[in-house]
Structure formats: structure tokens, C-alpha cells
Structure 1
């Protein structure tokens, strides 16, 4: 009989405790995009700036020391079905100019990105095609993407971001 009473109390307690419902709590803070952010910048490389440009992260982009920063160069725009298609190349990117080697590269902190040209020749002899109005997309993503060799399209898909969401910043 005691066994039946204990079984009845356990069953009743289980029903009472699992059917409790209270008021809904207050709404939480708005979510943040933990998958990453991408922004775009166009720069000129000149002898006056040492063929280097420092780009500060926009105020709405929070960068942690553990985040990966990936940079892509707009290398070309080609015609496609329904419009132009951008061709992006992940940095560092090497070009052969005659017998010389030119490299677009970058380094970064959690505050900014430095875009720069490097080469085995006098960079002031470069034509404007390599130095003026160079457009870059800078992606800040969790460190698990640090070793990923993702195209710009793959990266945007992975972090669930549309091209129209990319912020263009002035420099």
C-alpha cells in the first residue's frame, strides 16, 4: 500500500510540475550577427601614402581579437545574364607586371585594416590601373573561417549576408 501511495504522489507531482506555466518574461536584447560582417572600401595607393591605406572598422562593426579578417580585391567586372558580375580575389593576391612581381596584401588589428602594395620594383612606376580606385571587401568573421579559402560568394552564403547588406565606407 505504501508503494502505491508513493507511486501516486510521484505521478501527481510530475503532472503538476510539468503543467506549470507562468507569465512570459521581458524580451531580451536584440540579437547580433555572430556570423560576420562585410564592408566595402575604395582606396588609392600613391607614393604619398607609401602605397598603403589604413581603414578603420565602422562603428557598427565589433571586432574581437579572436575574429578572422578576410580581405577581397575587386579584380574585374564581367557581363552576365541580367547584369554585371563582380570578380573578387582573396588577398594576398600576386600579379606579374612584366618581369616584376606586385602583391596586394593586408594586415590588421581589432581596430583597423592596413591595405598595402608590395613589390620587387619601384612601385611609383605602376600605372593607375593598379593604384587608383581599388575596391576591397573586408569581412570580419569568427575564427573558424580563418583558414577557409572561400570565394566572396561562398563567404556571403556562409554568413547569410546579401550583397545589398554590405556597407560602403569612405576613406
Structure 2
């Protein structure tokens, strides 16, 4: 029994005294997840000439993967000096009881923004403020990151915390 009592401190000393070489430095990440979200903005005009749609290429400076999630937000105004953004698709109700929607689609490296409405919608009733000088921010997030946290993509401020 005395031998066991002598071995316990020796064993404890061996456990605390073990030290090896330091490993390579790790990467800073969010909750153990290493990612880089990216974004860019475009200000565009929707006109009958372009069939109320505009396409543009994702900048070549953005590293894009097939699995990345593409989100688009529309700048709707400012409050207290801060921009207010809404996630697309966004439905807008007009003063005359109509409705239309800002929407988007994308393939690997192109994004198309467009205005759509029901077959009864008269696009000639769109106000200049609804068509011209519309600013959109496209956000690219790695899908592995989005799946690893509980990210509310409708909350622009929360999404932008994860974008460079």
C-alpha cells in the first residue's frame, strides 16, 4: 500500500512535467471556423430598355467556389447615419395597390438583378425612385461557414460581421 502512495506523486509529476515543441500557429477564426466572406456593391438603373434587369460579373478579385452562398441586399435608406439593407427577394407594395419584387439569380460568376411583378402589373407605373440609382450589395459566404453557425442571413449587420 505504501508503494502506491509513493507512486501517485511520481506519476502526477510525470504528467505535469511533459512538454514538447510548440506546434505551428493556428488561424484566427469564428468559433473555431476559418473563413473569409467577401462583398461588393453595384448601383444600377432598371429600365424598359434592359427589360428591368441588369447582369454583372462577380469581380475576379473574389475567390469563388461552386459551394459558396450568394446573397444580395438592396440599400433602402439610412437611419441615424447608418445604411439600411434588405435581403432579396424583396416585395414592394405601391401606393396604387400594386406590388412588384426585386429579385436576383446567379450562376457561377454572374449575378442578374431584376424587377418582377404579376402579369397584371404595369411596369410604366414604377417611380424613378424604384428604378434608378438602386444600390445592391452582393455578399459571398462559404457554405461550410454558414452551415457551422446559426447565422440569420436576413440580418445584414450580423452577416457583415463575417465579411472582409
Please, what is the CA RMSD of the aligned residues?
Answer: 2.5
Listed as ranges, the matches of 1:105-144 within 5 Å are 105-120=103-118, 121-144=121-144
Aligned residues: 130
How does the TM-score come out when normalised to structure 2? 0.71
- TM-score normalised by L of structure 1: 0.68
| 1:61 CA drift (Å) | 1.0
The CA distance in 2 between the partners of 1:156 and 1:69, in whole Å, is: 13
Please give the residue correspondences for 1:1-171 in structure 2 after superposition, counting only pairs within 5 Å. 34-78=35-79, 80=80, 84-97=81-94, 98-120=96-118, 121-144=121-144, 145=146, 148-159=152-163, 161=164
- Structure 2 residue runs of 5 or longer lacking an equivalent are 1-17, 22-33
Unaligned runs of 5+ in 1: 1-14, 20-32, 162-171
* Structure with more of its chain in strand, by fraction: 1
SS at match of 1:103: strand
Q: Which moved more, 1:148-157 or 1:41-50?
A: 148-157
Structure 1 position 34, deviation (Å): 3.7
Contact 2:74 2:85 in 1 (8 A): yes
